[in-house]
Amino acid sequence: MADAATPDRPGEALTFPQGFRWGAATAAFQIEGSTREGGRGESIWDVFTRTPGLVIDGSNAELAADSYRRYRDDVALLAGLDADDYRFSISWPRVQPGGTGPANEAGLAYYDRLVDELLAAGIAPVPTLYHWDLPQELEAAGGWLNRDTAYRLAEYAGLVVDRLGDRVQRWITLNEPAMTTLQGYALGSQAPGHALMMGSLPTAHHQLLAHGLAVAAIRERGDAEVGITNNHTLMVPATDAPADLFAAGAFDLIYNRIFADPVLTGAYPDLSGFGLEAIPGLEDGDLELIGAPLDFYGINFYNPTRVAAPAEGSEFAAAGLPFEPVEFEDVATTGFDWPIMPETFTELLVSFARDYGERLPPVVITENGASFPDEVVEEAVDGGVRCTVHDERRIGYLDEHIAAVRRAIDEGVDVQGYYLWSLTDNFEWAEGYTQRFGLVHVDFETGERTPKDSYAWYRDRIASSRG
């Protein structure tokens, strides 16, 4: 293992263990566009974006980054970074338009082309089977509140692996089931837009069951590596008051542990504090499927969360919940107003290694990044004009968080890869096109791509990390 050097400024040398894998991440609905082409079916996000008032700028993803047509451009950008891996997602409604039945040949053929293009460029494909784009027909039948949806995802996984498994060696089953449950079904801020609060809990179990069934489907078809991606945050109590300490622990359970414990330990945490003896929907044999050993565990991290006892009259108090997220004080933030506290990233990773021990497989950071308001500027160069984006704040965020990962490795956490979110600007869910995370600026009218300063910085960081 190479010695580490903690940077005091962006660009200072920082080497990583031999074999550490670098990449970038995207999601199908956010970048592909072409939502009505090639026999693609309708997803819950197509319906959500058509509903007035739900997407902040009233936009949709019919064009997005136009990657369905411009995927070769994106692979070339990855090759320019000298990336090892590309984490992308496969659109369930593009492959299986209604969520059941035979595969759509045109959909599979698109991912055939993408995988082959990546391999020809020396980049390993790392597909995510489910990144939030549930076929609308399944939502009409109950969505993730319906246990049958888990079996439908496993069927879809089999179709994809049968087609691509001869070339894909690493799979991710689900992306951020916590966000589907909390934002999609509890608060209604994301598709499918239900505000069920604690009534959303069956969706947590059904998604994890889908993960377990998908793992089994992949294992049946070969010896590829498989993992899951969960979004995790470090809970920071607002004060040392007992009520705030209890609130932080309760929110940690709902946000982190309900989704990590069953996968890593084969058991749900104690839910008696929420008046539950067991997670709704649990049946005999489910936990054996959910807790099947994994080859890696994906962690998405963006920021910590400050938690307090709920204020009187808040929606959390009205729902009978013992916690409420509150803002940090005097902390720099991203364009999303997310607090920038890289030291909490190290703390989170170390806590996972400490709490789960040998049950934690190697960790891959499957998303980390920041949105900031970007501006394309024209600069004179060699008698012509060059367009670029000077995104120093993004570079600073990335530099500090990559250093935080290196510190976690120094403290004994087995982190084996880092995928930056995201390769290109994209359709940012309910925020539409108002938030930009990409290393590459996208003109959402023309699809034109302009690498930002952070693109060159990440390319150089990858090169220097290899020693």
Known binding positions: 30, 131, 175, 302, 421, 428-429
H/E stretch holding 287 reads helix 286-290
Annotated catalytic residue, options 367, 392, 411, 448: 367
Tokens matching residue 390: 């000077």
Answer yes or no: 176 catalytic.
Answer: yes
Going by C-alpha positions, the residue among 86, 77, 208, 219 that lies closest to residue 144 is: 208
Contact 364, 419 (CB under 8 A): yes
H/E stretch holding 317 reads helix 315-318
SS3 state of residue 24: strand
Tokens matching residue 67: 């990657």
How far is CA 43 from its chain centroid?
18
SS3 state of residue 172: strand
Going by C-alpha positions, the residue among 411, 407, 264 that lies closest to residue 345 is: 407
In the beta sheet, which residues pair with residue 325?
307
Strand 170-175, strand 225-231: pairing:
parallel
Going by C-alpha positions, the residue among 347, 316, 341, 317 that lies closest to residue 328 is: 341
Q: Give the CB-side neighbour count of residue 129, counting CA atoms within 13 A.
A: 35
Contact 261, 288 (CB under 8 A): no
Going by C-alpha positions, the residue among 128, 248, 245, 222 that lies closest to residue 167 is: 222
Going by C-alpha positions, the residue among 74, 47, 34 that lies closest to residue 449 is: 74
In the beta sheet, which residues pair with residue 367?
300
Q: Would you put residue 19 in left (φ > 0), alpha (ψ -120 to 50) or beta?
A: left
Annotated catalytic residue, options 42, 117, 176, 324: 176
Give 98's contacts (C-beta < 8 A, 6+ positions apart). Answer: 41, 135, 137, 138
Contact 85, 22 (CB under 8 A): yes
Residue 224 CA to residue 351 CA, distance in Å, equals 28
Answer yes or no: 379 catalytic.
Answer: no
Q: What are the catalytic residues? A: 176, 367
